[in-house]
Amino acid sequence: MLLSKIWLIPKIIVILLVSATSPWFLPQPILYKAIILITTLTLLLYVNFKKSIIKVIFFVFYIALIFAQVFSTDIKNTYNFSDHRKYLHQNRLDQYPPSLARVGNIIENHLDSPIIYQTQQNFFESLDLVNYFKNFFPIVYIFPFIFGLYKFLKHPNGLLTITTIFSVLLLSVVGIHGSYGPIIIFPIIAIIISHYPFEK
Partner 1 sequence: MKNKLFLLVILLFSFFVYTYKLDQVPSSVYVDEAVTGYNAYSVLKTGKDENGKLYPIYFRYFNAYSPGLYTYSIIPLIKLFGLNSFSVRLLSALSGTFSVFIFYLLIKIFIKSKSKAQIATLFYAILPWTFFNSRLGYEVMYAATIFNTGVYLLYKKFPNISNLGLFLISLSTYASHNQRYLAPLFIIGYFLIIKKPQIKTLLILFVSQIPNLILVFTPAFWVKNNVFSLKFILLQFITYISPKTLFFELPDIDQQHLVPKISIFYWWMIIPLLIAFKKISPGNSKKYQLLIFWTIISLIPASLTGEFISIQRALPFLFPVGIIISLGLVQINKIFLLIAFPYSLFLLFRSYFFFLPNEQYLAWNYGYQQVSDFSLGHKQETILVDNSRNIRNYILPLFYQKYDPASYQKSLGNFISSNYYRVPPQLGEYHYNNLTFAPIKWNEIKNYDYIVSDGLSVSPNQAEEHGLILIKKIETKNNQTSQEIYKVVKSNQ
CA 69 and chain centroid, separation: 10
**Length of the chain, in residues:** 200
CB of 65: closest distance to partner 1 in angstroms? Answer: 22
Site for partner 1 contains 129 (CB under 8 A): yes
CB of 94: closest distance to partner 1 in angstroms? Answer: 8
Give yes or no for a contact between 41 and 14, defined as CB atoms under 8 angstroms apart. no
Residues with Cβ < 8 Å from 128, sequence gap 6 or more? none
CB of 143: closest distance to partner 1 in angstroms? Answer: 9
Q: Which of 12, 16, 127, 159 binds partner 1 (CB under 8 A)?
A: 127
CB of 153: closest distance to partner 1 in angstroms? Answer: 4
Site for partner 1 contains 95 (CB under 8 A): yes
Site for partner 1 contains 88 (CB under 8 A): yes
Q: Which of 94, 101, 109, 166 binds partner 1 (CB under 8 A)?
A: 94
Residues with Cβ < 8 Å from 145, sequence gap 6 or more? 133, 137, 189, 192, 193
Q: For residues 18-47, which are near partner 1 according to CB under 8 A?
A: none
Phi/psi at 156 (nearest 5 deg)? -70, 140
Residues with Cβ < 8 Å from 155, sequence gap 6 or more? 199
**Alpha-carbon distance 135 to 165, whole Å?**
22
CB of 150: closest distance to partner 1 in angstroms? Answer: 7
Q: For residues 138-197, which are near partner 1 according to CB under 8 A?
A: 139, 142, 150, 153-154
**Alpha-carbon distance 178 to 162, whole Å?**
22
Q: Which residues bind partner 1 (CB under 8 A)?
A: 88, 91-92, 94-96, 107, 117, 120-121, 124-125, 127-131, 133-134, 139, 142, 150, 153-154
